[in-house]
Structures are given as structure tokens and as C-alpha cells.
Amino acid sequence: MSLEASSVCIVDVSGKIVCESKIASEPDTLIAWLSGLKLELTRIGLEAGPLSQWLYAAMRQSGLVVELLETRHVRTALKTMPVKSDRNDARGIAQLMRLGWFRPVHCKSMAAQETRALLTARKLLQVKLHDIEMSLRGVLRGFGLKVGPTTPARFEGRIKELVSGHPSLERIAAGLLAARVALRREFDRFEKEVRATARRDTRARLMMSVPGVGAIVSLTFPLQKPKFRTFKSSIVQYQWLTGHFKF
């Protein structure tokens, strides 16, 4: 699967190729094409990737028997192919599905994907804020101006104090500080949304009852282990369905 099109290969029980095509990577288009074949599709395989969860959810909802395949397992299985191409990959995946030589992976729900997107956006702004602050420190250090220990609230004032009387540095600092203000505003908004999301989630609230576990960890952990799991660790055993922690 690529952003624009997906290579499709259908084989019968003996491994003979029934048909091949290149279809637009859109759920409705793929579903309509597969339905129009008038074939009894026993199993459909999608290699996990950026688009796969979106396509998988729509195809599942339409009633198609589709599996999401673990990417590394597929790549290992297809290493022996002499020529690497989308068409050959589709052929290889079709044979893996026919033989049952595949490892299905869990597809995250839409709610889980939305939570992950929120956490990713928050982390991105956090990183960019840190980059701007470190860049300002680095620029001023080259002129012998040391910011030193400070707090997020006092950082802007400290920078303005140091660059006062240096016209070029004042302009540079003003631009970077303006960007920092905008990033800080949006970061704070995401931070509030993350905390609100954690408060609404029963599993997250339960995890936050453990000392040292906050909103970020309590939301991230369920994204990785959405189903029942028991961790036989000397540190923690986590039983998902019962929602019970043992330390």
C-alpha cells in the first residue's frame, strides 16, 4: 500500500494467480472492487503501515475477512524475492495468506488512534519548545551572555534582560520568543486536553492511582496493551480485564 495506490493480488487454493490490479488506496474503492469480483474471498491480508489501520477498519466494517500483518514478519518472509516491487510484494503476501504463514497484529480502535494523535501532537510541541529555548541559550552564549538556571515563567524576562542594548540580538530574540509564546499556548492547551482525557478514561484513572503514574503514562500504556494481558514480572503483574494491580 502506498499513499496513492495499492497493489492487489488474488490467488486460489492451489496458489495460482486469479487476478492482479492496482487500486486507489481508498476504502470505498477497494471494497467496491473486491465485491465486484464475485469471488468467495477466504482471507485478505494488509501489511501494517500508515494507511493500513484506516483501510482495515473500513474493510472489516463492510464484512470482509481481513487480517493486519506484522511488517517485520512480512519483510523477512519476502527477502528471498529476486526483485523488490509492489506487485511482487502483493504476490508474496497473497501466498502467505494462502498458506497461513502470517502473524496478525492488533489494529487500534479509532478512539485509541485519536488519543495517540493527541499525545504525539503534545510531544511535538514540547520538543519544539525545548529546541527554541536551547537555541536561544546557544545564540547568546556565543556573545558571552549566559542565561543560567531559570524557570519557564522567568525565561522570557531573562532573555530580554540579556539582549537589552544589542539591536541585532533583540530582533533575533523577539522572533524566537514570539514563536515560543505561540508554542507554549498550544502546548498548554494540549496538556489540558490530555489531562481531561485521562480523567474521562476509567482505565487511566485506575492507573493514576499508582504512585508515580500520571496522565501521559496512563494513556500511553493502554494503547500498547488494549486486550487482556498478564505480565509475569517481578515488579508488576497487570491483569487488564479485572483492572487489578499487584505489586
Instruction: Name residue, grid cell 487480517.
Output: 67
pLDDT attached to residue 156: 95
pLDDT attached to residue 169: 96
Instruction: Name residue, grid cell 463492510.
Output: 62
Cell of 60: 472489516
pLDDT attached to residue 224: 62
* N- to C-terminal Cα separation, the chain: 44
Per-residue burial over 152-177, b if 16 or more Cβ lie within 10 Å, else e, is eeebbebbeebbeeeeebeebbeebb
pLDDT attached to residue 233: 54
pLDDT attached to residue 86: 86
pLDDT attached to residue 100: 85
The closest alpha carbon to 224, from 101, 99, 112, belongs to: 112
The β-bridge relationship of strands 5-11 and 17-24 is antiparallel
Q: What is the pTM of this model?
A: 0.72
Spell out, as residue ranges, where the chain has pLDDT lower than 50. 227-231, 234-247
What is the DSSP annotation of 65-83?
-EEEEPHHHHHHHTTT-SS
pLDDT attached to residue 53: 83
The domains of the chain are located at 5-99, 110-239
Q: Where does 5-99 sit in CATH, by number?
A: 3.30.420.140
